[in-house]
Amino acid sequence: MKVLVLNCGSSSLKFQLIETDEQKIARDEDVALARGIVDNIGSEAVLKVDLPSRGTTLRETAEVLDHKAAVSRALELLTRPEAGVLADPAEIGAVGHRVVHGGERFHASVLIDDEVLRAIESCFDIAPLHNPPNVKGYRAAREALPAAPQAAVFDTSFHQTLAPEAYLYGLPYVLYERHGIRRYGFHGTSHRYVSARLARHVGREGDPALRVVTCHLGNGCSITAIRGGRSVDTSMGFTPLEGLLMGTRSGDLDAAAALHVMRKEELGEREAQALLNKHSGLLGLSGVSNDMRALLEAEAQGNPRAKLAIDVFCYRLRKYVGAYAAALGGLDALAFAGGIGENAAAIRERALHGLEGLGLRVDPERNAAANGVEARISPEGAPVAVAVIPTNEELLIARDAYRLVAGLPLA
């Protein structure tokens, strides 16, 4: 089955066309036929499609005014003869949508019907930047591909196994009852994929006692404690702002400090949101960049604030790893994923430095060679397996969509 995977942002549409079925999943031989993006929706957009099987890329610019037009243009690109991946859009057997927020309603991926759509829309107030464009993408795909079943795969669903002591805040309980104020967690699709790959990597698939920590490190960062494939705790909270230091997000912060800054700087809610989400984190501390590559280069050139930002990043990560080892009662394996986690060997080594007492060790040669590939980076015989596991959220979304359409249980 050919599955179209859509990830809609406010002004962008990322998409992949993936060929999968039960046999391909079992052999881990799913095929990414095309990967693309329509960027700057609402104006003169940039359209790009990478074709792995042909080793080529199609690029162009065009006026794309809304998500409906973006989906149409994506399908038009995929059906061009020079793309060679679709003769007709009707070949698409299912569409899988990344949906950021499923609230407490969704514990797993589902096929979208009117009731599911209403439930996704009911989360607009707690995910105002993400769920509305996700729904726009769904409506556009449903109109363009009326015969294809549509599936929603939620960032939050993997973390619905958290116990109340892990997801509740120290606020009056009535605020949870009235407004759903709790830890939801995000990046769940990545953590689910990486933890399953890690279990296979260490030869303990399906082991209910396996204790792992997965570190998704990119411009957005989160870390999750997982026992037997079930999320036990995770660093992002009511929104993706909480937890680790990130590219432009502050991560953990005393709420009173934010209120104090709002008073002193005379900031409204909108300005405070921008400060915490777009001008803080690595960018805010360093004054250089939110890109870890640029910061490592600046640090090597003697920039003290670049070094400070990296040190804070690594310290926060190290602290969370230790806390989650405690939450799990020990640790069997740890994985790095995401743009930083997969490609920054120096960050992996620095983040785990000092955790040797927990059995976490990094072999320098293995670590240096592991960038961008799945590989173990801990020394032979180390008590805790440490690995780089490149994430693939789109593949998991495609597999879930296929399984739902085929009536198979979700993995």
Domain residues for 121?
2-154
For residue range 271-297, list pLDDT tens digits in order.
999 999 999 999 999 999 999 999 999
For residue 294, being part of any structural domain is answered with yes
Determine the pLDDT at residue 129.
Answer: 85
The answer to whether 2 and 19 have CB atoms below 8 angstroms apart is yes
236 and 125 assigned to the same domain: no
pTM score = 0.96
Same domain? For 148 and 239 the reply is no
Please tell me the least confidently modeled range out of 108-112, 127-131, 331-335.
127-131
pLDDT at 110: 98
Specify the number of domains making up the chain: 2
**For range 83-104, the mean pLDDT:** 96
Catalytic residues: 155
CA distances from 325 to 199, 291, 357, 380 (A): 17, 28, 11, 21
Model pLDDT for residues 59-72, shown as the tens digit of each residue: 999 999 999 999 99
In terms of domains, do 144 and 256 share one?
no
pLDDT of residue 54: 87
Q: Which two tokens stand for residue 296?
A: 């490592």
Tell whether the model's pLDDT for residue 47 goes beyond 90: yes
Angle at 193 between CA 354 and CA 235, to 5 degrees: 50
pLDDT given for residue 411 in this prediction: 86
For residue 223, what are its two tokens? Answer: 């870390």
Please tell me whether residue 31 adopts helix, strand or coil conformation.
strand
| Rounded average pLDDT over 2-20 | 97
Confidence at residue 103, expressed as pLDDT on a 0 to 100 scale: 95
Distances (CA, A) of 64 to 84, 144, 341: 23, 15, 34
| 111 and 239 together in one domain | no
CATH number, residue 356? 3.30.420.40
Are residues 133 and 209 both part of a single domain? no
From residue 271, give the alpha-carbon distance in Å to each of 54, 136, 241, 267, 394: 46, 26, 15, 6, 33
The mean pLDDT of 368-389, rounded to a whole number, is 97
State yes or no: pLDDT of 258 exceeds 90: yes
Under 8 Å between Cβ of 324 and 233 = yes
